[in-house]
Amino acid sequence: MYHVDVSPALREYVENKMERVVRHFDQIIEIAVILGVEQPSEKDKRQRAEVNLRIKGNVIHVEDYAEDLYTAIDRMTDKLDRQVLKHKGKVQSHQNEALKHVADDAQQL
C-alpha cells in the first residue's frame, strides 16, 4: 500500500467526517485515519480509507476500498458511525441495568 499525500482540502474533509462520529459519542480517546492506494496490479488501483478509533476499553477498526478516495472515506465513516452507535447503545444499556440493580437493592432495604 502506498500512503497518500494529504491536501488541506482532503484533511478538512476527513476532519469534518470524524466530527460527525464524535458528536454521537463523546468518550473517544483517539482517532487515527490512514489513507492509501492499494496496487495489486497497475490497472486495478483501489483507494483505501482506514480508521482506528480508541474508546475506553475498546478499539474500533474500520476500512473501506473504492475507486475514489472520497467514496472510500464516506463509506468508512458510515461503517464507523454505525459501530460507534452500536457500542454507545451497549454502554448505555449496561449503565441502565446497573442503575436498575441499585434501585432494586435500595427498595429491598
Q: What is the pLDDT along the chain (109 residues), one digit of tens a residue?
A: 666 778 999 999 999 999 988 888 878 899 999 999 887 665 566 899 999 999 888 899 999 999 899 999 999 999 999 999 898 888 777 666 655 554 555 555 5
pLDDT at 49 (0 to 100): 94
Q: 20-41 as b/e, with b when 16 or more CB fall inside 10 Å?
A: ebeeeeeebeebebebbeeeee
Q: Which residue has the cell 483501489?
A: 46
Q: Which CATH superfamily is domain 2-108 in?
A: Ribosome hibernation promotion factor-like (3.30.160.100)
Position 70 scores a pLDDT of: 94
Q: Kindly give, in sequence order, each residue whose CB lies less than 8 Å from that of residue 48, ignoring residues fewer than 6 positions away.
A: 1, 34, 35, 36, 37, 38, 63, 64, 65, 72
Grid coordinates of 69? 478516495
Burial class (CB in 10 A: 0-12, 13-18, 19+), 73: buried
pLDDT at 104: 56
User: What confidence score (pLDDT) does residue 8 get?
Assistant: 92
